[in-house]
Amino acid sequence: MSSIQSLLQILQQRKQKLEAGGQKKYHDKLSLQNKLFVRRRLELLFDKGQYEEDGRFANCLNDELPADGVVTAVGRIHGRTVCVMANDSTVKAGSWGARTVEKIIRIQETAEKMKVPILYLVDSAGARITDQLEMFPNRRGAGRIFYNQVKLSGMIPQVCLLFGPSAAGGAYIPAFCDLVIMVDQNASMYLGSPRMAEKVIGERVSLEEMGGARMHCTISGCGDILAENEEEAIKQAKQYLSYFPANYQEKPSIIAGVAPKEGPCLENMIPTNQNVPFNMYDCIDSLIDKGSFFEIKKLFAAELITGLARIDGKVVGIIANQPKVKGGVLFVDSADKGARFITLCDAFHIPLLFLADVPGFMIGTKVEKAGIIRHGAKFIAAMSSATVPKISVIIRKAYGAGLYAMAGPGFEPDCCVALPTAQIAVMGPEAAVNAVYSNKLSEIKDSKEKLAFMLEKQKEYQDTIDIYKLASELIIDDIVAPNDLRNFLVTRFALYETKEMTFSSRKHPVYPV
Amino acid sequence: MSEIKAIMAGTVLMIQVNQGESISVGQEVVILESMKMAIPIESRESGEVTKILVSVGDFVNEGDVLMTIK
């Protein structure tokens, strides 16, 4: 009979072996790829590097599959409980077998019961084809992971840190997360690998071009943050979580406020000529607590800026047009970006601040074919149904449906205020005069006479949309001096904290997607 | 050889460089007018302008090549 000492020794040895992951050659490969071992990632992620783990012995009778290629853990980040699933790419390239899938499902169930955020540290080649019957089609197969993600969406924050491949079905893990952080050069997301693309459709393409981190963060919009390396990705994930409550029943934490970054004051940075671009980031800096901006999808559809920030220590979600990029015009991708960001903030009680300087939605054949109308509708629907405090600030122009998308007066903002530079209209003066007087203009042959006529009519038009006239008609709630805007926002967001409203009691809308 | 393309549909309002001119990263090379806004097009690379493919007043669609550089 074995002594207790020998049993303990066996336990200790087995644990050590399991925690060492796969074979040495795969560890060597990690360092060549600038990747960290899964347990090192977890140490960096959790407070004091400590975490509790279940299912460590999964598949432990098979020497080649330590922990069945995934670590599932509960620990604390900034003192708050968080659940994590993390692929181990040293074990069969992080592929999923039956127990891998069961472990992932269980950690999701834990996150649901505890009502705490879940992070997915993805680095996986996908399903183990040899195990497909046990892990692919059944009730607790891989599909269940995605079902759970959909169910958890909006209930608890879900974040994906993509360190390596996320292939085929596995690519839906990031797709169902609130935020996807991708490590440049290493992270990738694709339904079919380049090898498969060549075999099946005859396309020859590199992994980076087809599903690389940079492509997804700039073109497809599947990635939200492009991180230089894994340490940076982990740091970003921790910072992101600091803006969020643990679940939809709680509110974001409030910290001590900080003065905005020193720089030019708002009144000196806004050109009064509506057609001249300026940098909206400077405007944002002048309004928010210094160093508090956490931008989401910075590299994607840059004509619309979306990001989390703090104003006097309180979290807000900012949606701002960027006149410096594509004139701040809304496109298919920016509409999509805006809609998603609003939904994210609304789910977790993060008030919304709209900063409008928008000539409208883009027109022309190209965008009509791309469905600009239904994408715009998606943006407007998300903004309409958001019930968190909403403040709309018209910085300069807000034309056409651009006004609507940016929480204009008809969309139940808690207030819609204007700077003195604001101009609200169906369209700008030049476009309006061209539209209304097109026949008359074509009759005038003398170019000087034509110009004089246009300028006169533009002046008349300007008078009809004078911002004081709109204030007089109660269309806007107030006109604020630019340099007073920060204090105005501090006061108003504090006043709106108790806001509670239900948008509708129906089951759900028919989403305009 | 690389291309500078229109980032959105619009009309060429101004061409700010000449053929044969050396340009640097971030330099404005063309200004488009679109949606009544001035839309500066910047070069993402430095090099020499080898060919200008548009004229003032031309309509260009998103993705159309404005000039080539080497």
Using DSSP's 3-state secondary structure scheme, residue A335 falls into: helix
What pLDDT, on the 0 to 100 scale, is given for residue B38?
86
**Pairwise CB contact (< 8 Å): A329 & B35:** yes
Q: Which of A323, A326, A431 faces B7 most closely, judged by CB atoms?
A: A326
What pLDDT, on the 0 to 100 scale, is given for residue A2?
78
Contacts of A461 in chain B (CB under 8 A): none
Answer whether residue A228 shows pLDDT above 80: yes
Q: How far apart are CA A237 and CA A240, in angstroms?
A: 5
End-to-end Cα spacing for chain B? 4
Answer whether residue B1 shows pLDDT above 90: no
How far is the alpha carbon of B8 from chain A, nearest alpha carbon, in Å?
7
Query: Which of B28, B34, B36 to mutate to test binding with chain A, by most A CBs within 10 Å of its CB?
Result: B36
The answer to whether residues A209 and A189 touch, using CB atoms and an 8 Å cutoff, is no
Answer whether residue A367 shows pLDDT above 90: yes
Question: What ipTM score was computed for the predicted complex, to two decimals?
Answer: 0.87
Answer whether residue A315 shows pLDDT above 90: yes
B28–chain A Cβ distance below 8 A for any pair: no
B38–chain A Cβ distance below 8 A for any pair: yes
The rounded radius of gyration (Å) of the Cα atoms in chain A is 27
pLDDT tens per residue, range A36-70: 999 999 999 999 999 999 999 999 999 999 999 99
B65–chain A Cβ distance below 8 A for any pair: no
**Pairwise CB contact (< 8 Å): A275 & B34:** no
Within a 13 Å sphere around the CA of A304, how many CA atoms are in the beta-carbon half?
32
pLDDT tens per residue, range A393-449: 999 999 999 999 999 999 999 999 999 999 999 988 888 888 899 899 889 999 899
Of A372 and A442, the one with more pLDDT: A372
**Pairwise CB contact (< 8 Å): B37 & A360:** no
**Pairwise CB contact (< 8 Å): A428 & B40:** no
For the question of whether the overall pTM of this predicted structure is more than 0.90, the answer is: yes
B61–chain A Cβ distance below 8 A for any pair: yes
What pLDDT, on the 0 to 100 scale, is given for residue A275?
87
Mean pLDDT of A13-24: 95
Answer whether residue A237 shows pLDDT above 90: yes
For strands A80-87 and A118-124, give the pairing.
Answer: parallel
Contacts of A329 in chain B (CB under 8 A): 8, 34-35, 37
**Helix H or strand E encompassing B12:** strand B10-15
Locate the chain B residue with the closest alpha carbon to A301: B7
Contacts of B62 in chain A (CB under 8 A): 366
Residues 6+ apart with CB under 8 A from A474: none
How far is the alpha carbon of A296 from chain B, nearest alpha carbon, in Å?
22
Contacts of B38 in chain A (CB under 8 A): 275-277, 327
Locate the chain A residue with the closest alpha carbon to B36: A275
Q: How far apart are CA A116 and CA A101, in angstroms?
A: 20
Query: Which of A321, A322, A326 to mutate to test binding with chain B, by most B CBs within 10 Å of its CB?
Result: A326
Burial status of residue A184 (CB atoms within 10 A of its CB: 0-12, 13-18, 19 or more): middle
Percentage of chain A exceeding pLDDT 90: 91
pLDDT tens per residue, range A83-134: 999 999 999 999 999 999 999 999 999 999 999 999 999 999 989 989 999 9
What pLDDT, on the 0 to 100 scale, is given for residue A434?
87
Burial status of residue A82 (CB atoms within 10 A of its CB: 0-12, 13-18, 19 or more): buried
Contacts of B36 in chain A (CB under 8 A): 275, 359, 428, 430-431
Burial status of residue A96 (CB atoms within 10 A of its CB: 0-12, 13-18, 19 or more): buried
Q: Which of A366, A430, A431 faces B62 most closely, judged by CB atoms?
A: A366
Residues 6+ apart with CB under 8 A from A194: A204, A205, A206, A207, A210
How far is the alpha carbon of A365 from chain B, nearest alpha carbon, in Å?
9
**Helix H or strand E encompassing A10:** helix A4-19
A positions 160-219 inside 8 Å of B (CB): none
Q: How far apart are CA A418 and CA A439, in angstroms?
A: 34
**Pairwise CB contact (< 8 Å): B37 & A363:** no
Query: Average pLDDT of chain A?
Result: 96
What pLDDT, on the 0 to 100 scale, is given for residue A1?
62
